[in-house]
Amino acid sequence: MIPLSWLIALSAILFVIGVVGVLVRRNAIVIFMSIELMLNAANLAFVAFARHMNSLDGQIFVFFVMTVAAAEVAIGLAIIVNVFRLRETILVDEINLLKG
């Protein structure tokens, strides 16, 4: 059996990779993928804690999170596609009409 601390460490590493990805990458789709990584890091933590505590709440939470993530993908990709149609770029540096 894998100890809890390993699983939590892995999930923390995934989460940090996600955060760093959002902060340093410039392509909207890659940023979006990094966000998904953050959500999945949370899922891993939920499952690990749930197994450790023998409780079901965490495992059920994961189903909800997966549903929400799917909805988020649908909306996010739609927005990104729409931006690409108008601007022909999805690099967030170049999408800078609004500022001040």
Partner 1 sequence: MNVVPQPSFLMVDWWALGAVIALTVGCLALLVLEFLPAGERSSRGGVISLLTLGVSAYAVLRVAQDRRSLFDGMFVHDGMTVFFTVLFCAIGILSVLMSWDYVKRTRINQAEYYALLLSSVLGMVIMAASNDLITIFLGLELMSLSLYVMVGFRRTRLESNEAALKYFLLGAFASGFLLYGIALLYGATGTTDLGRMGAFLADSPVLSNPLLLVGGLLVLAGFAFKVAAVPFHMWTPDAYEGAPTSVTGFMSAGAKAAGFAALLRFGLKAMGPLEDQWAPLLSVIAALTMTVGNVTALLQQNLKRMLAYSSIAHAGYILVAIVAGGTTGAGAAVFYLAVYSFMNLGAFAILTMMGQGRDERVLVSDLHGLGFRRPLLGVAMTVFMISLGGIPPTAGFMGKIQVFGAAIEAGLIPLVIIGVLNSVISVFYYLRVTVAMYMREPEGEPTAISQGLPALLCVVITLVLTVWLGIQAQPLWVEAQRSVLSLL
Instruction: Tell me if 65 contacts partner 1 by CB under 8 A.
Output: yes
Instruction: Tell me if 87 contacts partner 1 by CB under 8 A.
Output: yes
Residue of 9, 79, 88, 91 that binds partner 1 (CB under 8 A): 79
The whole-angstrom separation of Cα 64 and Cα 29 is: 23
Is residue 28 a contact partner of residue 92, using CB atoms and an 8 Å limit?
yes
| Alpha helices in 1-100, H assignment, sequence order | 4-24, 28-53, 57-87
Region of 98 (left: φ > 0; alpha: ψ -120 to 50; beta: rest) is: beta
Give me the least distance between CB of 27 and partner 1, in Å please. Answer: 11
Residues that bind partner 1 (CB under 8 A): 8, 11, 15, 18-19, 22, 28, 31-32, 35, 38-39, 41-43, 45-46, 48-49, 52-53, 55, 57-58, 60-61, 64-65, 68, 71-72, 75-76, 78-80, 82-83, 86-87, 92, 95-100
